[in-house]
């Protein structure tokens, strides 16, 4: 019996009191004439505000042929504008007590910022300037590219990165989601003009989203936003179709050989769903029970009972076009096979045996409670709103979330696990020293061994 | 500068437990913490890493809440939890919907009253901690750099100079008797502060504290250990191997002045001017202008904490990775030049003003969250705990910025001249074992 026995609760444990009402954030929304969707929420916890300007084009928008182009574009976009030098931008931010970050994922590019409310007009103006007038100075581009390449080299020595990269390759094949980072040679080959072209094409207000949360009054802030962003004109980026992802059948083992490592990063995964899928809530709850919470089955088994690992977890990873489910654990080298055995045992238990009512109620309560915590800070609120508006979720998503979770049954969880914990087709990545782990991993499927650069050994 | 008026009420129970409540009712959630005035600095000699291993044991079972019950009860109440071991405190905290407040206090009181753990629990968590050390230090590029590399070089007192995560031999040597002795000595109500923040009324919070914690006996003989560091006179240097990364690293640590002195305020402003992100003088000079380094970071108590949350000797640390075509000596010369500029010309008036604004802004953000959006008011809790345990005054949360606001350019310059000198620093070179080690 692998599942540890749970002892009965002491009668001394205080009961939960009646739940107090959640105050739902009042949203002010407006789509500007140029297509920019604006969402404002007041939150007066501290005299600051957060902003996220999101473009619905990320690394996948450049297709498979230019990996990381959105990343380097966003990095260089903050290093100069038609009006401000790199140094001026950084000093202006400090003067406003502000932080600003630019970045990109597979599906989005973003400019995010936070600062003191007293400087909100100035900070909005700077964000707008970076979105419209980035000048991509040649010197800054060369400097940032070199730093980027050095960062890529460090990634290639990091077990968690290498495992993640290999899993994406295994799941997505020719689809651009397969590539999470360029090679050094690809990064070296980028020209400044490519960055500018990506920026001109994809940093457009049409289809972009601006979320502002913080210590401001919504009406004057909306006026300020219109004044700052309303005159921005740029054509809508055309979405390009991507090839269908690989959908690997059968369990396979992908070893990333890292000589001399004293631990093995295990990461296994399979295709799952996007946020729009009708199973989204069911799978979220199933994931929470399986490995998404500290008290989940995976953590209790391979950490609290077996001591194989420090931070095991499972994750539902939704991107815009496809999603996947993954399980990760960094374990000591001699328990790779033992860990995989327990992971598949727990996955298949979720697929075959309905979860008990107590455990189900606990997991529902966990999800609804954590959701409430996420509404209590400016950061948490910003994240929740970006999720709703970026993914085009229903307008009442926040207000109905808890009711939807509370309505889920053991059958819902079982059905979601059967459909999306696809253990028979799981792709198993182990990043570690091949001499110590290959034979253990081979017990779970046909093995291919790669080096840190992706070459088959 | 606007005045902060965060509501804070506090009292001390008869057993010495300090209780701090900061109400805020905008959201129906509450953050609860218990901070013990013991960190890894004062763990027993021969037991490096013990304070942290012990923190893990606090999740393994108490008198009425056995193994896994604690974690399960917090999660099933709709909350998240964690703990951490720092230089001078160990903390345990939960954020939950406010209808679970009494339950959280009961849980924390149960494990303050009596730990119920066995050898199997200890073996299990020793294994977990070793994997934690591997995933964070031994199996990562630049793992432990510089937070484990610098203290043994910079410090002489074992308290400040040992391996805080623990040598594996010491972790193996730790026994259940050690666990119970450590618990009995340090985990007493008169060595702790209980905090409640968010949707809780002070009277209600105090009554619950009395109800659940009031009868836990104090330890009348709390030990007073010496963590002081003898004055340094000459620069100290060491080299540490980097197993995975291909870039050379350098860490520089200067002993900082004692907390809550005029020099401390002044050096904190210099620190922000040097290390404040991409506008900071070190990043600007070494990364943006000279293009020697690819990254620089740093600060007082970097990377474990900030200028407020420690209570003893502390370093102002810079961590940088530089391009292999530059030598360590060339890199250090540029670093020294950035420091010398402050010593010779101080900070500009406008720069100092900007630094103060950014310092204040960062402080607000820390108060509100500090550990991400799902632990409301974690930072406020953290500062209230530190100011209560170290300074006896949680109200400092509202006033502590004043001293920084008053720093003049002359004071900043004097602090740089006094503290940022070779005889007051340690330098650790993190040297890649082989070129292209990443292959």
* Ramachandran bin of A439, using left for φ above 0, alpha for ψ from -120 to 50, beta for the remaining angles: alpha
A201–chain B nearest CA distance, Å: 28
Please tell me the distance from the alpha carbon of residue A289 to that of residue B215, in angstroms, as a whole number: 37
Chain B hits for A338, Cβ within 8 Å: none
**Cβ pair B28:A21 closer than 8 A:** yes
Chain B hits for A158, Cβ within 8 Å: 140-141, 244
Neighbours of B235 (CB within 10 A): 13
Q: Quick one: pLDDT band at residue A23, thresholds 50, 70, 90? A: confident
**Cβ pair B438:A12 closer than 8 A:** no
**Cβ pair B103:A381 closer than 8 A:** no
Residue A167 lies in a domain: yes
B297–chain A nearest CA distance, Å: 15
Which strands, in side-by-side order, build the sheet including A99-104? A27-31, A37-42, A209-214, A48-55, A109-116, A99-104
A51–chain B nearest CA distance, Å: 14
Q: What is the pLDDT of residue B79?
A: 97
List CB contacts of B233: < 8 A, sequence separation 6 or more. B423
Please tell me the distance from the alpha carbon of residue B401 to that of residue B6, in angstroms, as a whole number: 13
Among residues A180, A193, A145, A236, which one has the least CA distance to residue A60?
A: A180
Residue A287 lies in a domain: yes
Q: Quick one: pLDDT band at residue B435, thresholds 50, 70, 90? A: low
Among residues B68, B240, B244, B26, which one has the least CA distance to residue B151?
A: B240
A213–chain B nearest CA distance, Å: 13
**Cβ pair B438:A157 closer than 8 A:** yes
> Which residue has 């994922």 as its token pair?
A105
CB B322, CB B331: distance < 8 Å? yes
Q: Where are the alpha helices (DSSP H) in A159-245?
A: 159-172, 184-189, 192-202, 218-229
Q: Are residues A414 and A358 in the same domain?
A: yes
The answer for B 182-211 residues in CB contact with A (under 8 A) is 198-199
Are β-strands A209-214 and A37-42 bridged in parallel, bridged antiparallel, or unpaired?
Answer: parallel
Residue A243 lies in a domain: no
pLDDT in tens, B89-112: 999 999 999 999 999 999 999 999
Are β-strands B192-198 and A446-450 bridged in parallel, bridged antiparallel, or unpaired?
Answer: unpaired
Q: Quick one: pLDDT band at residue B7, thresholds 50, 70, 90? A: very high
Please tell me the distance from the alpha carbon of residue A311 to that of residue A330, in angstroms, as a whole number: 7
Q: Where are the alpha helices (DSSP H) in A8-98?
A: 69-77, 86-95
Q: Are residues A207 and A265 in the same domain?
A: no
**Cβ pair A157:B244 closer than 8 A:** yes
pLDDT in tens, A168-180: 999 999 999 999 9
Neighbours of B436 (CB within 10 A): 9
Chain A hits for B69, Cβ within 8 Å: 6-7, 9-10
Q: What is the pLDDT of residue A5?
A: 53
Question: Which residue segment(s) compose the domain that A222 sits in?
Answer: 27-229
Residues in chain B: 439
Which candidate from A115, A146, A294 shows the least CB-CB separation from B361?
A: A115
Which strands, in side-by-side order, build the sheet including A313-318? A313-318, A323-331, A264-271, A427-432, A252-257, A446-450
Which candidate from A87, A94, A311 shows the least CB-CB separation from B135?
A: A311
Q: Are residues A339 and A417 in the same domain?
A: yes
Q: Are residues A218 and A274 in the same domain?
A: no
Please tell me the distance from the alpha carbon of residue B49 to that of residue B54, in angstroms, as a whole number: 9
Q: Quick one: pLDDT band at residue B369, thresholds 50, 70, 90? A: confident
Question: Which H or E run includes B336?
Answer: helix B328-345
Is residue A8 scored above 90 in pLDDT? no
**Cβ pair B321:A150 closer than 8 A:** yes
Residue A322 lies in a domain: yes
> How many domains are there within chain A?
2
DSSP structural state of residue A301: I
Shortest CA distance from A381: residue in chain B: B373
B435–chain A nearest CA distance, Å: 12
B414–chain A nearest CA distance, Å: 23
Q: What is the pLDDT of residue A239?
A: 81
Residue A366 lies in a domain: yes
Q: Which of A15-24, A58-67, B419-428 has the lowest mean pLDDT?
A: A58-67
What phi and psi, each to the nearest 5 degrees, are found at residue A280? -55, -50
pLDDT in tens, A137-153: 999 999 999 999 999 99
Q: Are residues A171 and A47 in the same domain?
A: yes
Q: Which two tokens stand for residue B374?
A: 């799902």
Return mean pLDDT, chain B. 96
B229–chain A nearest CA distance, Å: 34
Please tell me the distance from the alpha carbon of residue A174 to that of residue A64, in angstroms, as a whole number: 7
A33–chain B nearest CA distance, Å: 32
**Cβ pair B26:A151 closer than 8 A:** no
Chain B hits for A294, Cβ within 8 Å: 71, 74-75, 80-81
Chain A hits for B323, Cβ within 8 Å: 146, 150
In Å, how far are A108, A236, A239, A319, B205 from A59, measured between CA atoms? 8, 17, 13, 12, 50
Is residue A65 scored above 80 in pLDDT? no
Shortest CA distance from A259: residue in chain B: B439
Please tell me the distance from the alpha carbon of residue B413 to that of residue B273, in angstroms, as a whole number: 12
pLDDT in tens, B270-298: 999 999 999 999 999 999 999 999 999 99
Chain A hits for B127, Cβ within 8 Å: 307-308, 332
Q: Which of A52-66, A301-315, B344-358, B374-388 has the lowest mean pLDDT?
A: A52-66
Q: Are residues A32 and A91 in the same domain?
A: yes
Q: What is the pLDDT of residue A408?
A: 98
Average pLDDT over residues B145-155: 97
Which candidate from B72, B125, B140 shows the least CB-CB separation from A295?
A: B72
Q: Are residues A396 and A444 in the same domain?
A: yes
Q: Are residues A216 and A316 in the same domain?
A: no
Chain B hits for A88, Cβ within 8 Å: none
CB B383, CB B397: distance < 8 Å? yes
Is residue A191 scored above 80 in pLDDT? yes
Q: Quick one: pLDDT band at residue A268, thresholds 50, 70, 90? A: very high
Mutation target for B interface from A154, A289, A339: give the one with most B CBs within 10 A.
Answer: A154
The domain that holds A375 is classified in CATH as 3.30.830.10
Chain B hits for A143, Cβ within 8 Å: 287-288, 291
Burial call B259-280: b when 16+ CB within 10 Å, e when fewer: beeeebbbbbbbbbbbbbbbbb
Q: Are residues A324 and A434 in the same domain?
A: yes
pLDDT in tens, A385-401: 999 999 999 999 999 99
Q: What is the pLDDT of residue B283?
A: 98
Among residues A136, A153, A156, which one has the least CA distance to residue A144?
A: A136
- Radius of gyration for chain B, computed over Cα atoms and rounded to the nearest angstrom: 22
CB A142, CB B288: distance < 8 Å? no
Chain B hits for A20, Cβ within 8 Å: 28, 97-99, 199
Please tell me the distance from the alpha carbon of residue B410 to that of residue A79, in angstroms, as a whole number: 32
**Cβ pair A150:B369 closer than 8 A:** no
Average pLDDT over residues B399-416: 98
ipTM of the complex in this document: 0.96
Percent with pLDDT over 90 in chain A: 95
Is residue B437 scored above 50 in pLDDT? no
Chain A hits for B81, Cβ within 8 Å: 294
B149–chain A nearest CA distance, Å: 19
CB A117, CB A48: distance < 8 Å? yes
Q: What is the pLDDT of residue A445?
A: 97
Chain B hits for A153, Cβ within 8 Å: 245-247, 438
CB A364, CB A406: distance < 8 Å? yes
Q: Where are the alpha helices (DSSP H) in B241-327?
A: 262-275, 281-283
**Cβ pair A91:B279 closer than 8 A:** yes
Residue A22 lies in a domain: no
Q: What is the pLDDT of residue B436?
A: 46
**Cβ pair A157:B100 closer than 8 A:** no
Whether omega before A192 lies within 30 degrees of 0, making that bond cis, reads: no
Chain B hits for A256, Cβ within 8 Å: none
B313–chain A nearest CA distance, Å: 29
Last residue of a domain, one of A196, A229, A262: A229
pLDDT in tens, A192-231: 999 999 999 999 999 999 999 999 999 999 999 999 999 9
In Å, how far are A29, A31, A75, A208, B162 from A230, measured between CA atoms? 14, 10, 25, 13, 58
**Cβ pair A45:B368 closer than 8 A:** yes
Q: Are residues A54 and A197 in the same domain?
A: yes
Among residues B332, B103, B298, which one has the least CA distance to residue B196?
A: B103
**Cβ pair B28:A44 closer than 8 A:** no
pLDDT in tens, A413-429: 999 999 999 999 999 99
* Ramachandran bin of B49, using left for φ above 0, alpha for ψ from -120 to 50, beta for the remaining angles: left
What phi and psi, each to the nearest 5 degrees, are found at residue B42? -105, 20
Q: Helix or strand or coil: residue B65?
A: strand
Q: Are residues A62 and A119 in the same domain?
A: yes
Is residue B126 scored above 90 in pLDDT? yes
Which candidate from B68, B81, B131 shows the least CB-CB separation from A6?
A: B68
Q: Are residues A121 and A81 in the same domain?
A: yes
Percent with pLDDT over 70 in chain B: 99
Which candidate from A303, A369, A378 shows the least CB-CB separation from B96?
A: A369
Mutation target for B interface from A377, A437, A455: give the one with most B CBs within 10 A.
Answer: A377
- Chain A contact for B97, CB < 8 A? yes
- In the Cβ-directed half-sphere of A355, how many Cα atoms lie within 13 Å? 33
Whether omega before B303 lies within 30 degrees of 0, making that bond cis, reads: yes
> For the packed helices A280-287 and A357-373, what is the interaxial angle rounded to 10 degrees?
100
Average pLDDT over residues A300-322: 97
pLDDT in tens, A25-35: 999 999 999 99
Q: Quick one: B310 exposed, middle or buried, by C-beta within 10 A (0-12, 13-18, 19+)?
A: buried
Mutation target for A interface from B31, B58, B75, B172: give the one with most A CBs within 10 A.
Answer: B75
**Cβ pair A16:B245 closer than 8 A:** no
Q: What is the pLDDT of residue A2?
A: 43
Is residue B438 scored above 50 in pLDDT? no
**Cβ pair B369:A379 closer than 8 A:** yes
Residue A258 lies in a domain: yes
Which candidate from B68, B103, B138 shows the least CB-CB separation from A4?
A: B68
Chain B hits for A13, Cβ within 8 Å: 64-65, 73, 103, 106
Shortest CA distance from A373: residue in chain B: B374
Q: What is the pLDDT of residue B434?
A: 72
A372–chain B nearest CA distance, Å: 7
Residue A86 lies in a domain: yes
Q: What is the pLDDT of residue A289?
A: 98
């Amino acid at each position: 019996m692998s599942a540890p026995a749970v002892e009965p609760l002491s009668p001394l444990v205080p009961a939960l009191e009646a739940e107090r009402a959640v105050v739902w954030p009042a949203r002010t929304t407006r789509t500007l004439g140029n297509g920019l969707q604006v969402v404002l929420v007041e939150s007066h916890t501290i005299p600051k505000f957060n902003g996220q300007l999101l473009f619905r084009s990320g690394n996948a928008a450049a297709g498979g042929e230019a990996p990381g182009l959105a990343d380097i574009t966003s990095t260089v976009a903050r290093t100069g504008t038609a009006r401000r030098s790199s140094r001026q931008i950084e000093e202006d931010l400090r003067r406003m007590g502000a932080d600003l970050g630019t970045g990109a994922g597979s599906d989005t590019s973003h400019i995010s910022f936070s600062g003191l409310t007293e400087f909100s007009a100035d900070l909005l103006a700077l964000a707008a300037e970076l979105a419209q007038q980035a000048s991509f100075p040649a010197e800054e581009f060369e400097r940032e590219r070199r730093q980027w390449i050095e960062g890529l080299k460090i990634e290639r020595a990091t077990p968690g990165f290498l495992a993640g990269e290999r899993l994406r390759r295994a799941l997505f094949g020719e689809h651009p989601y397969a590539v999470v980072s360029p090679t050094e040679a690809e990064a070296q080959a980028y020209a400044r003009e490519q960055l500018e072209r990506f920026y001109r094409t994809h940093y457009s207000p049409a289809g972009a989203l601006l979320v502002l949360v913080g210590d401001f009054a919504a009406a004057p802030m909306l006026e300020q936003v219109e004044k700052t962003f309303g005159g921005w004109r740029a054509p809508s980026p055309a979405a390009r179709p991507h090839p269908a992802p690989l959908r690997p059948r059968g369990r396979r083992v992908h070893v990333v050989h890292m000589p001399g490592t004293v631990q093995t990063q295990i990461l296994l995964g399979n295709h799952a769903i996007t946020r729009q899928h009708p199973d989204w809530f069911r799978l979220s709850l199933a994931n929470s029970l399986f490995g998404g919470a500290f008290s989940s089955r995976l953590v209790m088994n391979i950490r609290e009972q077996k001591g194989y690992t420090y931070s095991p977890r499972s994750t539902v990873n939704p991107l815009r076009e496809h999603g996947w489910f993954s399980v990760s654990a960094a374990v000591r080298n001699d328990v790779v096979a033992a860990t995989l055995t327990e992971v598949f045992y727990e996955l298949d238990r979720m697929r075959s045996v309905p979860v008990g009512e107590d455990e189900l109620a606990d997991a529902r309560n966990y999800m609804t409670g954590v959701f409430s915590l996420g509404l209590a800070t400016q950061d948490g609120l910003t994240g929740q709103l970006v999720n709703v508006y970026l993914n085009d979720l229903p307008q009442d998503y926040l207000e109905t979330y808890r009711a939807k979770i509370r309505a889920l049954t053991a059958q819902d969880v079982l059905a979601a696990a059967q459909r999306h914990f696809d253990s028979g087709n799981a792709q198993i990545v182990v990043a570690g020293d091949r001499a110590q782990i290959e034979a253990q991993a081979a017990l779970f499927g046909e093995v291919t061994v790669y080096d840190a650069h992706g070459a088959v050994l | 500068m606007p005045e902060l008026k965060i509501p804070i009420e506090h009292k001390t129970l008869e057993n010495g437990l300090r209780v701090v409540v900061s109400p805020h009712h905008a959201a129906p959630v509450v953050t609860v913490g218990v901070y013990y005035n013991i960190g890894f600095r004062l763990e027993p000699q021969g037991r490096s890493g013990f304070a942290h291993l012990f923190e893990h044991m606090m999740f393994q079972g108490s008198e009425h809440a056995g193994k896994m019950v604690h974690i399960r009860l917090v999660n099933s109440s709709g909350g998240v939890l964690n703990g951490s071991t720092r230089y001078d405190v160990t903390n345990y905290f939960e954020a939950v919907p406010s209808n679970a407040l009494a339950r959280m206090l009961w849980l924390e009181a149960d494990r303050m009253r009596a730990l119920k753990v066995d050898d199997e629990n200890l073996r299990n968590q020793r294994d977990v901690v070793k994997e934690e050390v591997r995933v964070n230090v031994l199996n990562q590029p630049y793992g432990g750099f510089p937070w484990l590399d610098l203290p043994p070089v910079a410090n002489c007192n074992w308290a400040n100079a040992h391996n805080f995560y623990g040598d594996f031999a010491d972790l193996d040597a730790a026994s259940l008797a050690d666990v119970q002795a450590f618990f009995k000595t340090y985990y007493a109500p008169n060595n702790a502060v209980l905090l409640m923040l968010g949707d809780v009324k002070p009277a209600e919070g105090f009554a619950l504290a009395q109800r659940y914690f009031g009868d836990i006996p104090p330890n009348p003989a709390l030990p007073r250990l010496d963590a002081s560091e003898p004055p340094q006179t000459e620069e100290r240097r060491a080299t540490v191997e980097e197993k995975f990364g291909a870039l050379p690293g350098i860490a520089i640590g200067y002993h900082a002045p004692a907390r809550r002195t005029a020099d401390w305020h002044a050096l904190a402003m210099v620190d922000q001017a040097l290390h404040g992100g991409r506008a900071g003088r070190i990043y600007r000079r070494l990364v943006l202008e000279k293009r020697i380094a690819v990254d620089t970071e740093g600060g007082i108590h970097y990377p474990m904490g900030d200028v407020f949350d420690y209570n003893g000797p502390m370093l102002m640390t810079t961590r940088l990775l530089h391009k292999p075509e530059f030598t360590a000596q060339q890199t250090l010369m540029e670093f020294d030049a950035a420091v010398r500029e402050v010593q010779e010309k101080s900070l500009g008036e406008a720069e100092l003003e900007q630094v103060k604004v950014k310092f204040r802004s960062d402080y607000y953000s820390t108060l509100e969250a500090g550990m991400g959006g799902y632990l409301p008011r974690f930072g406020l809790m953290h500062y209230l705990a530190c100011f209560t345990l170290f300074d006896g005054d949680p109200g400092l949360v509202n006033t502590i910025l004043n001293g920084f606001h008053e720093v003049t350019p002359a004071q900043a310059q004097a602090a740089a001249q006094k503290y940022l000198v070779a005889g007051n620093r340690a330098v650790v070179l993190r040297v890649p074992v082989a070129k292209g080690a990443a292959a």
